[in-house]
Amino acid sequence: MPQVDSHTYTLTTSTELAFAEAVARVREELAAEGFGVLCEIDVRATLKAKLGIEREPYLILGACNPPLAHRALEAEPELGVLLPCNVVVYQQQGQTHIAAVDAEQMLSIVGNDELADTAVEVRRRLSAVVDRAAQGGADIPRAMNAERADAAQT
């Protein structure tokens, strides 16, 4: 289960999966929860190219669930400055980590009560992504994931 601390802004956990496998699992679980990946930033490659710095793998996936994003933008048009929802997969001292933004914490800075239900829903879905991806998806049959993805697209 992702560790959630009320003093932090992420839903985070470690996994026994290798980095590449964790990235693949995160992509699968994002799709299962109705999120698409809008952008991808390979921090390792960027820092190497721009600064000559070597570091362990670090990937940022900018994820968006269109119905939830639409609902949030209807309530708060300038909310786009906080989108998309970032999910990161990185290695630190050889250990693979998965983290997602805690939407409830992030959206609490806006001060718009109309966003509360959306924030709870995004947090629930991203928490599930982090948890299931870290476990390798063993707890949820692939057919169920496919059904969730189909339902989210309609």
Bridge partner residues of 37 (DSSP): 63
Question: How many other C-beta atoms can be found within 10 angstroms of the C-beta atom of residue 154?
Answer: 6
Structure-block tokens of residue 112: 């718009």
pTM: 0.85
- pLDDT higher than 50, residue 142: no
| Per-residue pLDDT tens digits for 62-81 | 999 999 999 999 999 999 99
Predicted local distance difference test score (pLDDT) of residue 139: 47
Residues above pLDDT 70, as percent of the chain: 84
Q: How far apart are CA 116 and CA 95, in angstroms?
A: 34
- Per-residue pLDDT, averaged over 7-12, amounts to 86
Question: 147 in helix, strand or coil?
Answer: helix
| Maximum alpha-carbon separation in the chain | 45
- pLDDT higher than 60, residue 23: yes
